[in-house]
Amino acid sequence: MSKRVIIEPVTRVEGHGKVSILLDENNKVTQARFHIVEFRGFERFIQGRPYWEMPVVVQRLCGICPVSHHLAAAKAMDVIVGADKLTPTAEKMRRLMHYGQTLQSHALHFFHLCSPDLLFGFDADVQIRNVIGVALKHKDLAVQGVMLRKYGQEIIKATAGKKIHGTGAIPGGINKNLSTNERDVFLKDIKQMLVWARGALKVAKDYTVENLEMVKPFGSFDSNHLSLVRSDGAMDLYHGNLRAIDAEGNKIFDQVDYSKYLDYIAEEVKSWSYMKFPFIKSLGPEKGWYRVGPLARVNTCDFIDTPEAEEARKEFMAVTDNKPNNITMAYHWARMIEVLHSVEKINELLNDPDLQGNDLVVKGERRNEGIGLLEAPRGTLFHHYKVNDDDQVTMANLIVSTTNNNIPMNRAVQKVAADHISGAPEITEGLLNHIEVAIRAYDPCLSCATHAMGKMPLKVTLFDYQGNEIETKTKE
């Protein structure tokens, strides 16, 4: 008799989703899916709104990394207003905002959402395996997580006006510079942030290396990887061209102008999820799916242009003999490399006098279509708009970071389910944990992915082969 297991809601991720697992008569996993059950419809309801509202309204998709949407929309609006090259002050202020948010988002994910799994083990008592448990047992680490995140958020406040949902980036530029007073406050603490970022990187690295035999197969699989890279191949989270590589590191395409993304990327819709399934057109939906985010970025770039993060990248790549790393749990290590990179970048920018410039906005020839991409904390983020002559948005297409990771997350769930459930149809706490740990590695933001709202807890349900529900367990 076949059975279906449902995990709903999935906890310690952003948004609301569930997992369903189908077992055959011998309790072998035949199918495992990660369903995103939120629906929001941002792309529709912004139609008719004036284009200059986009950076402010679309960021409301998310409360975790709204800066990504704010900046991606602003980049698209730069195209609309004909601002082909921003002033140095505008571009650097936006970059500072972006590195601030990458720092705070990654810190939130690693310290608050994931560290309980890594520090206490996947099977530890749920009473301990939570952020409070971390605060009690590993006080220093918990405090560092909070303080790193706070620093990132203060950077966002200084550049966007508010820690969440600010207004800094406007079509063609930015609405403020960084005062010397603001700069000095950040410079005072930057060395401490560097120390803590190095510490966080060490925790993630040591965990992966020490548990390599366990994490190597855990929810892992070969995949393509996609990200923006700078024209010289460096990692660049704010701007660049598209590069896709396969699991061996061969380039599928490289230095693609992202305004031509539709020639390279398509999206598939499936009836069982509100999240779309993007793929590389030339490879088709079966083989063209890819991973994005920290793991993909460290894999795709040729180097990182800050010294400590570059050293860390080399160590990371050495684990897989300089071939792309396809280990799902290595996302955590890659994410902490980016934390260190972000702090190094913030330090670089704070010492740049361009941030005190007063030339904030440029304009050019008005256009009716704008595309803006950047590397959000969770991966490549696509914003595409059409605007009529009356300045109203007529079309919006948002491919959000987590959407790009849709199939990979499903693969990870399938792999963990096959490895841990087959032969054991009973839903145990351990099973729930393992599946969540795999999903969490991707740091999905399901609210963003479906452009949806609400909390995101995890539910698992068990069905028999006729579709009758046997058992459901829910975690709020």
Partner 1 sequence: MSNEINFVIDGVEVTGKPGQTILEACDEAGIYIPRLCRHPELTPRGSCRLCTVLVNGRPQAACTQPITEGMIVESETEELNENRRNIIDMLFVEGNHFCMFCERSGNCELQALGYRFGILAPKYDYFYPKREIDATHPDIFIDRNRCILCGRCVEASRTVDGKGVFEFVGRGPERKIAINAEQFLKDTNLKITDKAADVCPVGAIIKKRTAFTTPIGKRKYDKKPIGSDIEEKRKKD
Window of 161-169, 349-357, 440-448, 452-460 that interacts with partner 1 by CB under 8 A? 161-169
> Which amino acid is it at 240?
G
Query: By CB under 8 A, is residue 170 in contact with partner 1?
Result: yes
Number of residues located near partner 1, criterion CB under 8 A: 23
Window of 14-22, 245-253, 329-337, 389-397 that interacts with partner 1 by CB under 8 A? 389-397
- Which of 1, 47, 84, 161: binder of partner 1 (CB under 8 A)? 161
- Euclidean distance between the first and final Cα of the chain, in Å? 30
Window of 210-218, 272-280, 385-393, 467-475 that interacts with partner 1 by CB under 8 A? 385-393
Query: By CB under 8 A, is residue 44 in contact with partner 1?
Result: no
Token pair of 185 as six digits = 């406050």
Task: Answer whether the bond into residue 307 is a cis peptide, omega within 30°.
Answer: no
- Which of 119, 160, 245, 441: binder of partner 1 (CB under 8 A)? 160
**Distance separating alpha carbons of residues 59 and 213, to the nearest angstrom:** 40
Query: Over 157-176, what HEC string results?
Result: HHHHCCCCCCCCEECCEECC
- Which of 213, 321, 365, 390: binder of partner 1 (CB under 8 A)? 390
Interaction residues for partner 1, span 353-382 (CB under 8 A): 361
Token pair of 226 as six digits = 């996609």
Query: By CB under 8 A, is residue 86 in contact with partner 1?
Result: no
Query: By CB under 8 A, is residue 91 in contact with partner 1?
Result: no
Please, what is the minimum distance in Å from the beta carbon of residue 142 to partner 1?
A: 30
- Which of 48, 353, 364, 423: binder of partner 1 (CB under 8 A)? 48
Q: How far is CA 48 from CA 172, 182, 389, 451, in A?
A: 21, 38, 12, 18
**Distance separating alpha carbons of residues 99 and 65, to the nearest angstrom:** 11
Asked whether the beta carbons of 73 and 372 are under 8 A apart, the reply is: yes
Please, what is the minimum distance in Å from the beta carbon of residue 184 to partner 1?
A: 18
Please, what is the minimum distance in Å from the beta carbon of residue 12 to partner 1?
A: 26
Query: Over 365-412, what HEC string results?
Result: CCCCEEEEEEEECCEEEEEEEEECCCCEEEEEEEECHHHHCHHHHHHH
Please, what is the minimum distance in Å from the beta carbon of residue 169 to partner 1?
A: 9
Q: Which residue number, 93 or 458, has a Cβ lying nearer to partner 1?
A: 93
Q: Which residue number, 64 or 296, has a Cβ lying nearer to partner 1?
A: 64
**Distance separating alpha carbons of residues 124 and 120, to the nearest angstrom:** 6
With H, G, I as helix, E, B as strand and everything else as coil, classify residue 17. Answer: strand
Greatest alpha-carbon span in the chain: 71
Q: Which residue number, 59 or 223, has a Cβ lying nearer to partner 1?
A: 59
Query: By CB under 8 A, is residue 400 in contact with partner 1?
Result: no
> Which amino acid is it at 310?
E
Q: Which residue, among 218, 15, 197, 199, has the nearest Cα to 121 in the 3D structure?
A: 218
Q: Which residue number, 94 or 411, has a Cβ lying nearer to partner 1?
A: 94
Query: By CB under 8 A, is residue 386 in contact with partner 1?
Result: no
Query: By CB under 8 A, is residue 175 in contact with partner 1?
Result: yes
Give me the helix-helix angle, 307-318 and 330-350, nearest 10°. Answer: 170
Please, what is the minimum distance in Å from the beta carbon of residue 155 to partner 1?
A: 15
- Which of 125, 210, 391, 426: binder of partner 1 (CB under 8 A)? 391
Query: By CB under 8 A, is residue 52 in contact with partner 1?
Result: yes
- Which of 1, 26, 44, 50: binder of partner 1 (CB under 8 A)? 50
Query: Over the range 37-58, which residues count as b (16 or more CB within 10 Å of their CB) and which as e?
Result: bbebebbeebeeeebbebbbbb
Query: By CB under 8 A, is residue 248 in contact with partner 1?
Result: no
Query: By CB under 8 A, is residue 77 in contact with partner 1?
Result: no
Structural Rg of the chain based on CA atoms: 22
Query: By CB under 8 A, is residue 166 in contact with partner 1?
Result: yes
**Distance separating alpha carbons of residues 91 and 52, to the nearest angstrom:** 18
Burial class (CB in 10 A: 0-12, 13-18, 19+), 357: middle
Token pair of 154 as six digits = 């203060």
Interaction residues for partner 1, span 278-337 (CB under 8 A): none
Query: By CB under 8 A, is residue 43 in contact with partner 1?
Result: no
Binding site for partner 1 (CB under 8 A): 48, 50, 52-53, 55-57, 60, 160-162, 165-168, 170-171, 175-176, 361, 390-392
